Copies of this chain bind each other. A is one copy, B any other.
């Protein structure tokens, strides 16, 4: 394992120290692993998210004006513990309640549930929104349900804009839910990632093969396939998305790098995705190309698509000022 780390066990704490040093707009409790906006807005609905580390800039990099109020990063690929979530929620509570944005993984769900109970006991009203956009997983009685992946960014951005505009708790939660319901994702890996505490690659992938339908935890995908061109791989991903939620109207599209993928390649994929969408008679109305919801050093990409409404587009366009996403101010 070759990584820019000190003790691999300190990876998360050391990265948080760097985050704190780099962004005066954030307040970072390195010991307790909670990242807050430096200034909170009283009266506003709070937005809190969190999850395992290794997905940077998600979530801590999305704390700031127009997006999250606080985030709690767990160990690498391990959901945060209830204490962290409670601390983030209490701080994020400006009197109008807090929305928890939870990616649908057993660990995340259980820890956020425990935290929400504790928050309720402390008198903080919490509304939880599950993100489960990954079409690679069958949503059935026989799985833990679909995973939360790239669309988490959509949910955090759009709900954040609505909360910033002063909407009440129920409305922010409902809109977050709406965004999730209108979003789908699919991921492809060219290589495994290496979890620092494990010290070696999670899986081995021959030079001529890819993993299709990966999540964001370095887990193998639903199946393996031969390596293809950008057009073929983008086509596989888009077929999966389109097969689950027909591409129609104005779309918000994220072509996301998994952490080790150069931007040049992501733009090549985006060109293919955009052509695919045009071919279906739909339109890329807003887009984002870059590494936003990552899986450590994994090479590969995911595509996330959200079917916009005028209102969602307006909220997407609203100003945001975070380390990972910034426009309008």
Contact = CB atoms under 8 A, between A and B. Distances in A.
A190 B2 contact: yes
Interface in A42-67: 53-54, 56-57, 61
A290 to B, nearest CB: 9
A21 B274 contact: yes
Interface in A197-216: 207, 210
Contacts of A19: 267
B291 A263 contact: yes
A69 interface: no
A230 interface: yes
A231 B271 contact: no
A268 B230 contact: no
Contact of A11 (B4, B15, B264, B297): B264
A15 B60 CA distance: 29
A18 B53 contact: no
A246 to B, nearest CB: 21
Given A21-B284, A229-B5, A289-B22, A15 B260 contact: no
Nearest to A301: B4
Interface residues of A, number: 60
A89 B37 CA distance: 43
Interface string A1-38: 01111110001101111110110000000000000000
Contacts of A56: 262-264, 267
Q: Number of copies of this chain in the oligomer?
A: 2
A294 B263 CA distance: 9
A261 interface: yes
Given A15-B271, A18-B267, A297 B262 contact: yes
A230 B284 contact: no
B18 A270 contact: yes
27 contacts: A2-B190, A2-B207, A2-B227, A4-B268, A6-B231, A12-B264, A14-B230, A15-B264, A15-B268, A18-B267, A18-B268, A18-B272, A18-B274, A19-B267, A21-B270, A53-B264, A259-B262, A259-B263, A260-B260, A262-B296, A263-B291, A291-B291, A297-B299, A321-B327, A326-B326, A328-B329, A329-B329
